[in-house]
Structure 1
């Protein structure tokens, strides 16, 4: 991608070679170059051939987390970990295409009149070793997630549960006691990482779940092989086997697909997708409005503990340029808020427009003229480095010197959760309530912006305890007004999610990232 006046790029920490290198695992340089960017009629947005067929092994290439990867579903954070977890495990609920909760292991749920006790009835399902999924397994799984000595991502969402006063009514009925009235409790059941594991499970070297695929073998940072679970409660998968392969190089993933070494390549850049849009060698599958694109400013340290400087950052950014250059137009601009188009999204808040004069005035007021600030980014997500470079050029127009620091792909998310002051950020889909619970409350475990406001926490508590939807909507609006004015997420866009498949692959859904049908392989087949 060509960017005017390239920003200075400082390599902070060299990345380890990806597990699937072009020369090592792929060996496709010559073959791939022969077909690269070759447009031939026949491609489309819809994946695959007509009728489902049984059999075969599908090989899916994802970016990964390196040699320290584990298969503990409660530790899932990366997209590959989320896809692997849903292949092997189940949650009580998950998110539908509209990001509302749909039943999974839970057959149904019902609250009491005060919204403080919720009764959940389990469907008949079994773990891979033949044991039934019981209420005791659900309670043990949630107790594990809520263990104060651990830092599981779902803990923030599940914290509303009073586990000591919850109980198994019988093997298929759980009664959850809540710490306060909570109308959004189905979101908790669908929380990212809230998987049900067998009671007492701690060793995930050979994991046992209740999902559509069961474990065969695992090499951290390289591959995971799974086989069909013929007893899956929703019906056995079409595929005999599913193999996850790791490459943190997007072009390597595409070349592996073109060379016939994989059938599914996750997370394409918009430029790559556009280049192959009409190729008969692969099929591009688009999921619109799937990924929030942002920069995260930490509010608990200089320089972004200064609200005037944060507002200047909001005003200096040219959002349309970022969408057009780094997303190749495959997306829409953001307004510094998560969840565009989802329930409770604050459409009432006017779209911010670029205002360089106001930005300069705020920078002077903050005493930040000539400020040099490091922007941490990496190749951990497609387009991160390019977007950081474009943003640095935009900041230079108001006198800020943003130095782009390219860090380790494998450890980027862990590195930037607590370190630095400004970083690239993105998120898949989830309810706005879940986004707030996991990222914006004082006790949230993935609070990358370090937003901590007792009055904001109180608004959240009031919103999720309010039965009247109109009143609840007003409370969410108030929370979003606070975030828009003073928060640390500079949300510049919402990207389409892009994957590629071999033409013979069918059943790949156009579902938003992080929802049930995204990166879900039990409904996929090989033609």
Structure 2
């Protein structure tokens, strides 16, 4: 038993502290410790130590102000339609999910008390009792049924419709029990339900402008593309609730302006700053950096159904022309890992490390461009400050192309409107994808033939069939093998060039405490407002 106790580390203590902050019950905490090999007697000591640490640290009160990097007049409070960081931050503040991912990527319960299945096809969800919406209505199974079924309705326009389609039936068994039936077994369902889009809304909601949820904050002001203001929910079901009294969030698309707002004291957090701004922040007393590496990336998208991407050799040439090392070292100042043109990062257990990234090889690139009959032609390339470091990446590609006689007309467009006017639409353009915790989610959103965000319009019946097969496998070794093959297919066949996996860096005031890493991305997977506090 002593060996088991010794194996419990300080990082495990931190995990327990994080779970306490998120409102985990004592039973759930002891279950976590027993799973880690801690005896009940030692578990009690660990729990007491963690509880004391949590209780001693946070302070209540204050008005939190933070700035993201992306917004639009199409900003929404409908979690099914959320697509930008500002959407995710708002949804995390006013709604809850059935599950969430802790800092170690482990699924924990939130609105659900438990989610169980004997065959990974039929799942039983037990809800916590005593949870109320902001308007006083009690949370019930009908709210969960309504929230999940919305994703299946084409008229809703859910961003995760392709993922949700595997749900063939969802029904309320009793006021606090929901039964979810899938078309085929999927062991990832508890993880899928932790995604931002699967927030639970009130049964029958058609007007989302008021943001009625069960979350830590109530919506006070919502001005799409401008700002949002929230106040603390006094009836929140988690012990203690949010630490700050109120919270304001908006976007400053220009990186320099966002950093200057932080340094001048106008905001407490500047999200996702660029590497070139890091030294400035670090040189100023009273400010710190929070780094998360969890699979975020900026990619160069070549639509395979439009010229010039309709010639296969153009995409092949671009994958050799991209100078990954230069992007990693010069553009991102080393805050990135070299990628191999597919979205599953080394942070995932399913990452195919045997799939090597293509080396920078201008001669091979030139060969493919000549074969495509495009060498010497001017190719428009749309870029913007909206996708992280996309302007710098475009410049590098342009310079490399000029050395072999390949001309790229780099067209820099405004951040405002980029995601609605250019992303997914322009023949050659840049995108930026936030981390997702499973290959199934990444592939379903981005590469399946019916994927809502199919950036290069990649279509493969073989890929689609493999996706369904891997989804239902309980044999992890076989599942990993199939996901490895699918990564090779994306790398070789799709029109997405993914040069590096980017480390997200949020710059924060030293007054802001409690910010932690999360596998769903920066700003604690966009849920930071509930957990941080201000140390005046």
User: Structure 2 CA distance, aligned partners of 1:190 and 1:403?
Assistant: 41
User: Structure 2 CA distance, aligned partners of 1:415 and 1:497?
Assistant: 25
User: Structure 2 CA distance, aligned partners of 1:285 and 1:79?
Assistant: 17
Structure 2 unaligned spans of 5+? 1-55
* Cα shift at 1:198: 0.1
Contact 1:416–1:448 (8 Å) recurs in 2 = no
**Aligned in 2, Cα 1:145/1:497: closer, same or farther, shift over 3 Å?**
same
1:521 aligns with 2:526: no
Determine helix, strand or coil for the equivalent of 1:361.
helix
Q: How is 1:185-264 mapped onto 2 (pairs within 5 angstroms)? A: 185-235=189-239, 236-264=241-269
1:53 aligns with 2:95: no
The higher-RCO structure (CA 8 Å, 6+ apart) is 1
Which residue in the other structure is 1:295 paired with?
A: 300
1:168 aligns with 2:172: yes
Q: Of 340, 352, 356, which residue of structure 1 is paired with 2:358? A: 352
**Aligned in 2, Cα 1:495/1:261: closer, same or farther, shift over 3 Å?**
same
Contact 2:68–2:86 (8 Å) recurs in 1 = yes
Determine helix, strand or coil for the equivalent of 2:422.
helix
Q: How is 1:41-190 mapped onto 2 (pairs within 5 angstroms)? A: 51-113=57-119, 115-124=120-129, 125-163=131-169, 166-190=170-194
1:343 aligns with 2:349: yes
Q: Of 469, 480, 495, which residue of structure 1 is paired with 2:476? A: 469
Which residue in the other structure is 1:435 paired with?
A: 442
* Cα shift at 1:289: 4.3
Structure 1 unaligned spans of 5+? 1-49
Give the number of the structure whose residues are more often helix, by fraction. 2
**Aligned in 2, Cα 1:478/1:66: closer, same or farther, shift over 3 Å?**
closer
User: Structure 2 CA distance, aligned partners of 1:88 and 1:103?
Assistant: 17
Which residue in the other structure is 2:46 paired with?
A: none
1:419-454 deviations in whole A, cap 9, x for unaligned? 211111221211221010111111111111111111
User: Structure 2 CA distance, aligned partners of 1:54 and 1:181?
Assistant: 44
**Aligned in 2, Cα 1:464/1:389: closer, same or farther, shift over 3 Å?**
same
Which residue in the other structure is 1:36 paired with?
A: none
User: Structure 2 CA distance, aligned partners of 1:439 and 1:211?
Assistant: 29
Contact 1:154–1:191 (8 Å) recurs in 2 = no
Determine helix, strand or coil for the equivalent of 2:524.
coil
Q: How is 1:324-473 mapped onto 2 (pairs within 5 angstroms)? A: 324-341=329-346, 342-430=348-436, 431-473=438-480
* Cα shift at 1:290: 4.5
User: Structure 1 CA distance, aligned partners of 2:523 and 2:225?
Assistant: 24
Determine helix, strand or coil for the equivalent of 1:324.
helix
User: Structure 2 CA distance, aligned partners of 1:463 and 1:66?
Assistant: 36
Q: Normalised by the size of structure 2, how large is the TM-score?
A: 0.85
Q: How many pairs align?
A: 475
User: Structure 2 CA distance, aligned partners of 1:358 and 1:173?
Assistant: 59
**Aligned in 2, Cα 1:491/1:382: closer, same or farther, shift over 3 Å?**
closer
Determine helix, strand or coil for the equivalent of 1:162.
strand
1:311-337 deviations in whole A, cap 9, x for unaligned? 111111110101122212221211111
**Aligned in 2, Cα 1:281/1:515: closer, same or farther, shift over 3 Å?**
closer
**Aligned in 2, Cα 1:413/1:101: closer, same or farther, shift over 3 Å?**
farther
Contact 1:95–1:516 (8 Å) recurs in 2 = no
User: Structure 2 CA distance, aligned partners of 1:483 and 1:154?
Assistant: 20
User: Structure 1 CA distance, aligned partners of 2:106 and 2:374?
Assistant: 43
